[in-house]
Amino acid sequence: MRTSLAALVTLALALVVSAHEHDHEDQIPFNYVKYPYQATYPGDNEVTADSIFAGITTFAKLPWVQCLGRDRDTAFDIAFIGAPFDTGTSYRPGARFGPAGIRAGSRRLTLYGGYNVPLEVNPFLSGLKIVDCGDIPVTPYDNKYALKQIEEGHKELLHRRSYTPLGNDTLTGRPLAPISLDGKNHPRVVTLGGDHTIVLPLLRSIYSAYGPISVIHFDSHLDTWKPS
Ligand SMILES: *[C@@H]1O[C@H](CO)[C@@H](O)[C@H](O)[C@H]1NC(C)=O
């Protein structure tokens, strides 16, 4: 017992000594690893691997703002919002867990603050205010009512004024003009689904703010065609 304790003390001393022998400060700063409670977001590069598996999950661990509830007066530029709806599926439900699944998968975006290597950009450091608004409340019992909930929840966010005023065109330097029907700059809303049905209420909402729009559809196979 006494021998093993002595061995442990020796080992501890050896570790302390070796730590002093190498000047780690030149290689990795001592404060490199930040803990979640020290982290500030959006993506300020102060968050390291710890945060991927610790802490509360929001999209990319962005601040949670209850945009449809008590924080409705908080302005933002880009919002992530979930639409956990899947009762429009004919065969395999489960997409109602999509928003939560996407959020869980997006946790790694906190590593290096969300820097995109191929594109050489960090969208979280664009200077815009980016938040996670949580989910639109969606009933699983009545599809018609659920579509109304999604449309109205989306509309409510989309028609607000954005936090940051519209800047200048990076090419011409001229001030950008809003393309909305009311001539105001509105925030961008990224909706996490949800089955394909949610596209309909979202298009209705976007139409209400911008008029007729075009849709670019990315899919491994086209699920949305005419029933005939
Ligand atoms: C946009 O351009 C105007 C001049 O047209 C300039 O006064 C203003 O500072 C610019 N704004 C930004 C955000 O660069």
Any atom of ligand 1 within 6 Å of the Cβ of 224: no
Q: pLDDT-derived band of residue 51, with 50, 70 and 90 as boundaries?
A: low
Q: Tell me how far the alpha carbon of residue 168 lies from the centroid of ligand 1, in angstroms.
A: 6
Any atom of ligand 1 within 6 Å of the Cβ of 167: yes
Q: Is 38 a member of any domain?
A: no
Res 127: pLDDT? 84
Higher pLDDT, 21 or 111: 111
Q: Is 98 a member of any domain?
A: yes
CB 100 within 8 A of CB 84: yes
- Which residues span the domain enclosing 143? 59-214
Higher pLDDT, 41 or 175: 175
Count of structural domains within the chain: 1
Q: Tell me how far the alpha carbon of residue 177 lies from the centroid of ligand 1, in angstroms.
A: 13
Note the pLDDT tens digit of each residue in 162-210: 999 999 999 999 999 999 999 999 999 999 999 989 999 999 999 999 9
Rounded distance between C-alpha atoms, residue 160 and residue 191, angstroms: 16
CB 85 within 8 A of CB 150: yes
- How far is Cα of residue 187 from the mean position of the Cα atoms in its chain? 14
Q: What is the mean pLDDT of the chain?
A: 80
Residues 6+ apart with CB under 8 A from 48: 32, 33, 34, 111
Over range 131-150, report the average pLDDT. Answer: 97
Q: Is 46 a member of any domain?
A: no
For the chain, state the CA radius of gyration. 24
Q: Is 63 a member of any domain?
A: yes
Any atom of ligand 1 within 6 Å of the Cβ of 176: no
Neighbouring C-beta atoms of residue 197, cutoff 10 Å = 21
Is 218's pLDDT higher than 80? yes
Q: Tell me how far the alpha carbon of residue 164 lies from the centroid of ligand 1, in angstroms.
A: 13
Any atom of ligand 1 within 6 Å of the Cβ of 166: no
The residue whose CA is least distant from atom 13 of ligand 1 is 167
Tokens encoding 161:
């004024």
Higher pLDDT, 21 or 88: 88
Rounded distance between C-alpha atoms, residue 114 and residue 92, angstroms: 32
What CATH number did the domain enclosing 118 receive? Answer: 3.40.800.10
Any atom of ligand 1 within 6 Å of the Cβ of 168: yes
